[in-house]
Amino acid sequence: MPKATDNAVDGNYTVTAKVTDPAGNSSLPSTPANFTVDTTVPGDSDGNGVVNEQDANGGKPVVAIPEATQEDGYTINAKELADGEGVQVNVTLPKGTQVGDTVTLTVKPENGDAFTVPYTVKEGDDVSGNGTPVSITIPKQHNGQGLDGAYTVTAVVTDAVGNSSVTSNEAKFTVDATVPGDTNGDGVADDDGKPVVTIPENTDGGVNATEFNDKGVQVNVTLPKGTQAGDTVTLTVKPVSGNEFIVTYPVKDTDDVTGSGSVTVDIPIAKFPSNPDGAYTVTAKVTDPAGNSSKVSALADFKVDTTVPGDTTGDGVADDDGKPVIESIPEATEADGYSINATEFADGIEVQVRLPQGTQVGDTVTLTLKPATGADITVDYKVQASDLSGTDPIVTIPVEKAKFPEQADGEYTVTAQVKDPAGNNSLVSEGKTFTIDTQAPNVTAPKAKEDGSVVITLPDDADKVTVTVQPEGNQAT
């Protein structure tokens, strides 16, 4: 059967045959045979029956994955996957596509065998060649397995008689349905899978100047199950007054992501305000490159205290000029040789200390009394608001008699140091020495001689001796 010159042969046909001899005798017609001619090729935009580069878009369908964009690294996360039945693929059908044609997606994983997803073109689908794409879904599961991993997908349009478009260009996408903090595998982050935040340097009342000036504030974050290398730990730090700020940490290949391991994230000094002292809260969450996130951790509180008692220059270091000063021991004066007698020692002693610059309410003054022999005696005194009311604060610290050994007599040197709750310490003061002497001197009875003289033996432990002589009729000393 010759081809029509105008190529307008597409359609359904029946054909019969009969045989006629030269005399005109004919057989009966054969049983009709049906056939269809379809010379319309999907992608043949110029109608020459051939699909090639001269056709619109090279005769190819166009493939796009709306949930896998360049901004997110062409990755589909768990939430996006959960919103539908799988991965949505948009295919712009080439000119020449007709109702009933089949679009075949070929999906090839990075590791594994390719599989296909067919779609039959329906009435109402746009077959203009540059219109609204059709949406085809790659199911969430293939052969009983989830789709996690990297893929390429192509599309080709084939009609019922085998005419095919050119295969589309590859579209790449990655499915990442592993959610940090998903402890039960349902694709949703759980409360039990929150990161856990601790601040090791905050255990003693705050982060002190030495700790802060090292690396800022160190935060330990226990990584939840489902965390992987390349995920990001995000700390949100909020001061009690002021604007919150963010610190991020990329999870490394060497980090423990078993669900019980932790990483140390430094909040650098530069992130804090110029005066960092004060109270803060911090939370953490883990986010993967696809946008899957754990739940936000519970709040962790911490305090920064960089005010150092005795820091006179503001460099965060205690100075010699900022030492506390032992002003006096009222019971031990220069007039009595800095000695304390039994009466004065009856209820212990007092030590007066001049407090250094930078001392604050709640700081502790520690007295250390060092005897000539034996163990040191320490006394702590908590600074009160009333102690700091003047311009030159001096506190009087009692040292109870019970603090001393039973045999307390002897020489002592006392020093003072101021410590704040965060562990910032002044330098130790210069020592002041005093003596406790509770033993009365022993005097032997005087002896009168025959010549009228008197012999008196003086005690070795007497600092001052008074001798009174009573002659007959008069008294002399």
Same domain, 202 and 344: no
Q: Is the Cβ–Cβ distance between 365 and 388 less than 8 Å?
A: no
For the segment 338-347, the average pLDDT, to the nearest whole number, is 94
Q: Residue 220 contacts by C-beta under 8 Å, 6 or more apart in sequence?
A: 197, 198, 199, 200, 262, 263, 264, 265
What's the pLDDT score for residue 247?
98
The answer to whether residue 352 is domain-embedded is yes
Q: Two tokens at 41?
A: 């090729």
For the segment 174-196, the average pLDDT, to the nearest whole number, is 91
Question: Between residues 424 and 57, which one has the greater pLDDT?
Answer: 424
Same domain, 205 and 164: no
Q: Two tokens at 160?
A: 């019922």
Same domain, 67 and 198: no
Distance of CA 356 to the CA centre of its chain: 37
**CA 187, CA 183: separation in Å to the nearest integer?**
9
For the stretch 226-274, pLDDT in tens is 999 999 999 999 999 889 999 999 999 999 999 999 999 999 999 999 9
The CATH number assigned to the domain holding 281 equals 2.60.40.10
Q: Which of these ranges, 43-57, 109-123, 230-244, 364-378, has the smallest mean pLDDT? A: 43-57
The answer to whether residue 468 is domain-embedded is no
Q: Give the residue from 177, 206, 229 where a domain finishes.
A: 177
For the segment 277-295, the average pLDDT, to the nearest whole number, is 95
In our burial notation (b when 16+ CB lie closer than 10 A, e otherwise), range 20-46 reads: eeeeeeeeeeeeeeeeeeeebbbbbbe
Q: Residue 95 contacts by C-beta under 8 Å, 6 or more apart in sequence?
A: 43, 44, 45, 55, 56, 127, 128, 129
Same domain, 73 and 27: yes
CA diameter of the chain: 200
The answer to whether residue 109 is domain-embedded is yes
Same domain, 173 and 196: no
Same domain, 379 and 258: no
**CA 319, CA 237: separation in Å to the nearest integer?**
32
The answer to whether residue 299 is domain-embedded is yes
Length of the chain: 477
Same domain, 200 and 143: no
The answer to whether residue 45 is domain-embedded is yes
Same domain, 297 and 327: no
For the segment 458-473, the average pLDDT, to the nearest whole number, is 62
The answer to whether residue 311 is domain-embedded is no
For the stretch 383-399, pLDDT in tens is 999 999 888 899 999 99
Surface-to-core class of residue 14, CB atoms within 10 Å of its CB (0-12 exposed, 13-18 middle, 19+ buried): exposed
The answer to whether residue 314 is domain-embedded is no
Question: Between residues 451 and 438, which one has the greater pLDDT?
Answer: 438
Domain membership of residue 19 as a residue range: 1-177
For the segment 315-333, the average pLDDT, to the nearest whole number, is 94
Q: Give the residue from 436, 451, 469 where a domain finishes.
A: 436
Same domain, 84 and 231: no
Same domain, 158 and 123: yes
What's the pLDDT score for residue 161?
85
Q: How confident is the model at residue 54 (pLDDT cuts 50, 70, 90)?
A: low
What's the pLDDT score for residue 5?
47
The answer to whether residue 446 is domain-embedded is no
Same domain, 155 and 258: no
Domain count, the chain: 3
Q: How confident is the model at residue 462 (pLDDT cuts 50, 70, 90)?
A: low
Q: Residue 386 contacts by C-beta under 8 Å, 6 or more apart in sequence?
A: none
Same domain, 173 and 195: no
For the stretch 17-41, pLDDT in tens is 889 989 988 888 889 888 776 666 7
